[in-house]
Each structure stands twice: as C-alpha cells, then as structure tokens.
Structure 1
C-alpha cells in the first residue's frame, strides 16, 4: 500500500511537469524549451532537481506513514531504517523462544531489529542485554535505546523493548505480540527499571 502511494505521487509529479512546459519566445536564441518551476511540494524547489524532489517526496510520505503507524511526532530526520523495520514487525504474534515474523518473544524481537538495522548481534535474553548496555537516564533516551522492566525491587528483568520517541517503545507483549506502548501506561510506568544504550564497537 505504501509503495503504491509513493509511485502514484511520483507519477503525478512527472505528469504535472509536462503541463508547465512553455514555448520559448521568438527572441530566445536557445531552442531548448523553458520549464516553469512547478512542483507538488514547493519547499523542495530551491536548488532541487526533479529527482531530488521525488526522493524528498517519498521520504516525506514514508515519515508520515511511520508517524501515523507508530503514534509519534517525527522531525523527519530520525533513523528511517529503524522506523521501517519496527513498522514491518508490528502485529507479529507473541511466541516464546522464537524470533521470526511467524512469532517472537520480546528479546527475540529486539535481537532481530538490531541485526537488521544496525548489524549488531545481541545476546538472546533481556537480562544478558542489560549487562551489555550503557545506562542512560530516562529523560535522555534516544531512538534505538533499550528499555527494561522488572516487577519490583530485587526482582529480575523480565521484559525488554526498543525506545522510539515521545515516551513510546516497541516490544513483543504476551497479550498482543509486537506493538507500540507508552512508558506512561500504568503497568509499564510501574514496572520500568532502566534504559540502556548499545554502543557499536
């Protein structure tokens, strides 16, 4: 669906460019047609070639799609690979011990996303992941940081997700599979333990 929209916009942009051609004045020595500046996205006119405008248009549509699907406000400069990969996994059912599109648990989902987006191989359990992160403050989290949960002081870490933005994180939950949730939801707010950043060596 998203590819169809992108192709349609690109085709429409190309078609419109033909309507804005005008015949050169008789006094003009050049025989090349003069093209009036016209675009579906005027903000891309300054210094942009048609190819640049088409690419920017595609990027804009993609970011809008990710923002809507993930429920976050994007600045259009976020890691598009991360957003696309997480979006592609949304709706995958929960399956303990698995990490495929047929079913995945929380740590399986995280390992697959990190492999696909960053080329990083993480340890398979949420507890092992926690041992290999650099701790970050909750108010300094960035997209791609890991969020860890436990059920009280002294309890082991039992769940992990990937922070996206605006307090939202992606994870595979036992009651719904891969989804986007908010750290402000009472359950996750109560059980949030720490955030950590994987540093690519």
Structure 2
C-alpha cells in the first residue's frame, strides 16, 4: 500500500515537472505550449477534432507576421492556411479572365484561394458566386466570407473579395492587382452590396 502511494506520487511529480520545466516565454510573447505539451494535453483532455490547435512559439511568430502583412489583428482563431494563402497572392498583377499568379482577376483570385485552402470549386464569375452563397448580414461576417460590390441600385455585381477581419478584405483590383483594402474606404463603402458565406 505504502509503495503504491509512493509510485502514484512519483508519477504525478513526473507529469507536473513535464508541464513546468519549460523556461518562461520572452516578454511580450503570447501563451503557447510546446508541441509535446500540446499533444499530451490533447491526448488527455480533448477528443474533439475541431478543437483549436495550440500554437508553439514559432507558430505564433509566423502567424503574427502573416497577420501583419494583411494589416489585421489576430486572435489565433482565424484559418491560418487561408491567411497564408492570401499573403502568397499579394502583389499578383490584375489580368482579366485569368486566375494564376502571373495575373488574375477578382473572381479568379477567389476561386483559386478557395480551391487551395478548402478544396472547393466555386463559380467563376462574381455574379454566379453571389447566387450560390448563403447571404449574411455585414455585421455577421467572419474570416473567409465573400464580399460583393456593385456600382449602384439595380446595377449588376462587378467585384468580389475575401473578407479577412477588422473590415479588411483581400481582392484583385484592376488598379493594383491582389491587395488588402478596407470596407471603410469611401469607394468600397459606397459600392459594398452584400456578404456571403460559402457552405463548407
């Protein structure tokens, strides 16, 4: 009995030392557990495949760099693959009717990103995309939703982009190629028409 108790205490001590041996994170660094700790914790406490991934320090640094390139504040809950893919397209020149990194138009950019990130094939034109998404309120937009624009009441949809967050969206603009813009800019605020969510 006494030996069993000692074995239990020793095991508990080993487990606790496993979690607390890591040196404290540098000042200003957000939490983060090592990948070993993350896998052990998830093995013990999580059976949900959709549980948020615990970031390692190097993950969070890379995530921060991506968010900085996009001009957004990250909460580490956004789809990292989406953000990284958008960053990889930044600066791609505008080319009507194309959808490659040598040149793309707005709907070509959106279709390629959704194919790369989600494995989904979207309609090729912004108007067709609009008819095939779930329409949502502007206040309910989430990272990965689509934003649609038209030049006035009764006018057709002429432009589409991918919502990031903080009112920022990624799109292929005729006057600059793939870039990040704000829905608060006068031009986009005036021409914003609707938001849509692709069922995934």
Q: Same fold by TM-score, threshold 0.5 exceeded?
A: yes
The total of aligned residue pairs comes to: 165
Partner of 2:108: 108
Where do 5+ consecutive residues of structure 1 fail to align? 1-33
Deviations 1:125-155 (A, max 9, x none): 0000000011000000001100000000000
CA separation in 2, counterparts of 1:154 and 1:101?
A: 33
Match of 2:161 in 1: 161
Structure 2 length-normalised TM: 0.76
Match of 1:57 in 2: 57
Distance 1:39 1:189, change over 3 A: same
Q: Which residue number corresponds to residue 77 of structure 1?
A: 77
Q: Deviations over 1:18-39 (max 9, x none)?
A: xxxxxxxxxxxxxxxx999343
Counterpart CA distance in 2 for 1:39 and 1:132 is 51
Q: Which runs of 5+ in 2 are unaligned?
A: 1-16, 40-54
Give the corresponding residue for 1:170: 170
TM-score, with normalisation over the residues of structure 1?
Answer: 0.76
In the alignment, the residues of structure 1 paired with residue 123 and residue 65 of structure 2 have an alpha-carbon distance, to the nearest angstrom, of 31
Q: Report the equivalent of 1:86.
A: 86
Residue deviations 1:67-111, cap 9 Å, x none? 110000110121001001001001100000000000000000000
Please give the per-residue CA displacement for 1:12-55, whole angstroms capped at 9, x wherever unaligned. xxxxxxxxxxxxxxxxxxxxxx999343627446x863797xx6
Output the CA distance in 2 between the equivalents of 1:79 and 1:136.
19
Equivalent-residue separation in structure 1 for 2:86 and 2:25 (angstroms): 28
Quote the residue 1:37 is aligned against: 21
Residues 35 and 56 of structure 2 are in contact (CA less than 8 Å); yes or no, is this contact kept in structure 1?
no
Query: How much does 1:62 deviate?
Result: 1.6
